[in-house]
Chain A
């Protein structure tokens, strides 16, 4: 079966929507379903990279345990470009939670994903999430608005 770029785009869009929904409900299996076993991730926090689904799952689990209460995890301005079996996507992620005072504690991140279609299914083979930092203070800038 041949697949058009549009079919692929719709499929990857669905993949990212399901992944974000799983993150909102702290469903670790749902989150991990989006990833290739050999995922290489550059996350916004802690270390330069995570190699493979097992290490990435442990990191995700730790991140889910950091938060309490409702999770905010919204995909904005998603753009996907797909070719034959290789695609990429980029978006802005509004994420955080509701603090004990009932106020939103959120930050904006940038996310880039590299996807591959293997065994008839698209997965995320590479993910890169980050916040820019202020060169003078050396601090991450989480309050920047798109």
Chain B
């Protein structure tokens, strides 16, 4: 990595943010999740729609309510690229848990997050989560892949 576009302090701050966000997901702590998002953040999610704007506490709360107890959230191959005011990271993540219907669920997916430094603090301005799909004619979402 060349020094011209990577700021070690910013990289460390983003890594800490990503870990705190993941712990908030595991603990289903809505306020702690929301604290990391810019109000106008835009996301490309696993489920439709194509694009959604502005994560809301009620939306996060409703999603948490579909799961029993704590969630499992693992982050692998995290890579952070950060300058003074803009940054992005990518990783392969595993979400696991038990749905309210009592079904055990687990999925590996790709996550890319973009950040902007606002009033001295890094905030999530964009996130993209997905699984690829199979081009074998089935267009099946590849929810069975592992890193």
Chain A residues with CB under 8 Å of B145's CB are 47-48
Chain A residues with CB under 8 Å of B46's CB are 132-133, 135
Residue pair A128, B90 in contact (C-beta under 8 Å): yes
Q: Does A18 contact B (CB under 8 A)?
A: no
Residue pair A126, B88 in contact (C-beta under 8 Å): yes
Known: A48-B145, A81-B116, A90-B44. A130 touches B88 (CB 8 A): no
Chain A residues with CB under 8 Å of B130's CB are 42, 44, 110, 128, 130-132
Residue pair B84, A141 in contact (C-beta under 8 Å): no
| Smallest CB separation, B27 vs chain A (Å) | 24
Residue pair A133, B47 in contact (C-beta under 8 Å): yes
Residue pair A45, B134 in contact (C-beta under 8 Å): yes
Query: A119-146: which residues lie under 8 A (CB-CB) from chain B?
Result: 125-126, 128, 130-135, 138-142, 144-146
Q: Does B87 contact A (CB under 8 A)?
A: yes
Stretch at the interface among B16-24, B67-75, B107-115: B107-115
Residue pair A110, B51 in contact (C-beta under 8 Å): yes
Chain B residues with CB under 8 Å of A88's CB are 86, 88, 114, 126
CB-based nearest A residue for B146 = A48
Q: Does A85 contact B (CB under 8 A)?
A: yes
Contact bitstring B111-145, A, C-beta under 8 A = 1, else 0:
01010100000000110101111110011111101
Q: Does A108 contact B (CB under 8 A)?
A: yes
Size class of the B contact interface (CB-based, 8 Å): 35 or more
Chain A residues with CB under 8 Å of B125's CB are 81
CB-based nearest A residue for B84 = A84
Known: A90-B44, A144-B48. A114 touches B112 (CB 8 A): yes
* A interface secondary structure, majority: strand
| Smallest CB separation, A59 vs chain B (Å) | 11
| Smallest CB separation, A63 vs chain B (Å) | 9
Q: Does B56 contact A (CB under 8 A)?
A: no
6 contacts between A and B (CB under 8 A): A48-B110, A128-B128, A135-B46, A142-B139, A144-B48, A146-B51
Q: Does B101 contact A (CB under 8 A)?
A: no
Query: B25-83: which residues lie under 8 A (CB-CB) from chain A?
Result: 42, 44-51, 79, 81-83
Residue from B45, B87, B138, B140 in contact with A86 in the complex, judged by beta carbons closer than 8 Å = B87
| Smallest CB separation, B141 vs chain A (Å) | 4
Chain A residues with CB under 8 Å of B4's CB are 85, 117-118
Closest 3 CB pairs of A and B: A85-B5, A83-B86, A130-B130
CB-based nearest B residue for A46 = B132
Residue pair A112, B128 in contact (C-beta under 8 Å): yes
- Max chain A C-beta neighbours (<10 A), residue from B112, B116, B143: B112
